Structure formats: C-alpha cells, structure tokens
Amino acid sequence: MGRYLVRRLLQFIPVFVGATLLIFIMVWAIPGDPIAALAGDRVLPDTVREQIRDRYNLDDPLIVQYGKYMGGVFQGDFGDDFRGRPVTDLLAQRLPITVRLALFAFGFEVVLGIIAGILAGVRKGGFMDNLVLVSTLVVIAIPIFVLGFLAQLVMGVRLGWFPVSGVQRGLYSYLLPAMVLGSVSLAYIARLTRTSLIENLRADYVRTATAKGLSRRRVVGIHTFRNSMIPVVTFLAIDLGSLMGGAIITETIFNIPGLGRAVFEGVQRQEGTVVVGIVTFLVVVYMVANLAVDVLYAVLDPRIRYE
C-alpha cells in the first residue's frame, strides 16, 4: 500500500509537466496579440506594447517562455496576469469561493443522488423507481443555463427565497447555484446507484445472505450497498474535478467569481499565466481525487489489494 502510494505520487510529476506544457502550447497557439487587444479599439503605441510584451516574455520562443514560467513556479511565483496582479493572489481569492460552491454541490448531489438511487433500486418498477427515472431524465434533458436562469427567476426574483446572484450573503448565497450545478450529476448518480444496486441484488452472495435469514435492511444496507458504490465513487471523483473547473456557466449566471470564470476570461484574454496556473491546479485536484478513489476501492471491496 505504502509503495503503491509513492508510485502513484511519483506519477504526478510527468503528468504535471506534460499538462502545463500542453496548456502552455494551446494558449500560445491562440491567434492575435493579447497586448494589442488590451487597448481595445484604441491603438497602443509600439513602444508601450513592446514594453508590456517584454514584461510577459511574449517575444521569447515558446520553450524559453515555458522554461521561464516553470522556473518561477518552482520558486512559488506563478506570474502576473495582464492587469499586473499575481496569479497566486487570484487563486487565493477565487479558490475558496469555488471550493465552497463545489463542496455544496457535491454534498447535495451525493446525499440526494444516492438516496434517490437506493429508493429506486430496491423496488425496481415501483412508484419511486418510475418517479426517479422520469425526474432525472427531465433534469438531464434541460441545458444547465436554462435551468440556471429558470431557478434564478423563480426562486430568486419571483419568490425571493434565495439571493438572485453574487456571494455577498455568505454561505446562503451558494445554495441555489450549488443545487443548479449539482443537479445534472445528481441525476447521473441516482441512475448509476439504481442500476448498480439492481444488478448486485441479483448476485449469488445476496441470495446466500437472504437465505441465511438476514433482514432485508441488512442485505441491502451492508452487503449490496457497499459493492454497488464502486462505479458511483468512480463517477464522483471525476465529477469533483469537473465541479471545480467546469462551473463556468453556473458561475456566470449567479455571478460567482470562481475559478471557472477566471479560466474562461483568461483564455479570452490569452493570459497564459492565469490559464496555466489555474488549469494546472485543477489537474492536481483531478489526480488527487482519482488517487483517493483508487484507495477507496479497497475500502469498499476487501478483495482489492494494492502492491
């Protein structure tokens, strides 16, 4: 187990270098001069433009730019954005916001999703099963921005139950966006849990357990449920990653200044430092989440061993 962890952690290094290099190349390949674009319709004098390009090493060959960037990163300097603010400040400002939103959404989808999945799965074809199937289908079918604006208009503007947007009302501000953000994953989790549970309920060991005279509650709750969680946990790990980075639409609708919007704006402005810094961070989050899942497998299924 210990050796396994070390090996997995060592794998982080090439993934980290590869990911940063790839993202760097992609940002670099976006056509247009980001510095000239800073001035919008107006013309930036060449002398000033050169001055700023110099400051961001934009005239160096790609690999030199990358080398300078990585050199800074290893000293804890993630560079500045085009407004002159350090990217580490940006991360420090936006990360807590995104983490709050992601954790709220994650908690919401895990709790409700698994409960709905179990309720549907234990009695296949029953009323709850059909209710869950139909409602999740509806949620999956509606695009997230429609759902977002609808929730905002109904629950925020008309009913006034939640803040319409922004993060100025503390944790309460995150509830509605988290529900919107988590809704689609919730539907997937419910369906995944249901299918997995139904499948496992037909397994031999379940019949054995039932034959031994164990109560239904124990058969489902202990023996089947744990095994059924393996595909769900796999999904959750990936989903946590996308919650951190993929909340652009929700963050925009609810005016939440999180990482997703920062990346989006960074791409638009071709701010290599911002995009690479944040995306690299997200890559690390993905990797850690995946590692956590692999470790969790062993908890869920004692037959799985790591060497």
CB of 286 to another protein, least distance (A): 13
Q: Does position 171 bind another protein by CB under 8 A?
A: no
* 299 is a contact residue toward another protein (CB under 8 A): yes
For residue 99, state whether it binds another protein (rule: CB under 8 A): yes
**Single residue of 137, 153, 171, 222 touching another protein by CB under 8 A:** 153
CB closer to another protein, 14 vs 40: 40
Binding flag, residue 223, another protein (CB under 8 A): no
Residues 230-269 that bind another protein (CB under 8 A): 252-255, 257, 261, 268
Instruction: Record the tokens describing residue 286, joined without a space.
Output: 């993905």
Tokens 């989790």 identify what position? 189
CA atoms lying within 13 Å on the CB side of residue 238: 7
Stretch near another protein under the rule CB under 8 A, chosen from 21-29, 46-54, 65-73, 218-226: 46-54
Contact 283, 259 (CB under 8 A): no
Tell which one of 34, 117, 182, 272 touches another protein (CB under 8 A). Answer: 34
* Nearer residue to another protein within complex by CB, 137 or 299: 299
Q: Cα(first)–Cα(last) distance of the chain, in Å?
A: 6
Q: Does 80 contact another protein by CB under 8 A?
A: yes
According to CB under 8 A, which one of 22, 166, 171, 221 is a site residue for another protein? 166
Which of 63, 131, 157, 171 forms a contact with another protein (CB under 8 A)? Answer: 157
Report if residue 51 touches another protein, rule: CB under 8 A.
Answer: yes
Smallest distance, Å, CB 283 to another protein? 15
Report in angstroms how near the CB of residue 3 gets to another protein at its nearest: 12
Q: Which residue in 96, 125, 126, 221 binds another protein (CB under 8 A)? A: 96
> Given the rule CB under 8 A, which residues bind another protein?
1-2, 5, 31-34, 36-48, 51-52, 55, 80, 82-86, 88-89, 92-96, 99-100, 103, 149, 152-153, 156-157, 160, 163-168, 252-255, 257, 261, 268, 270, 288, 291-292, 295-296, 298-299, 302
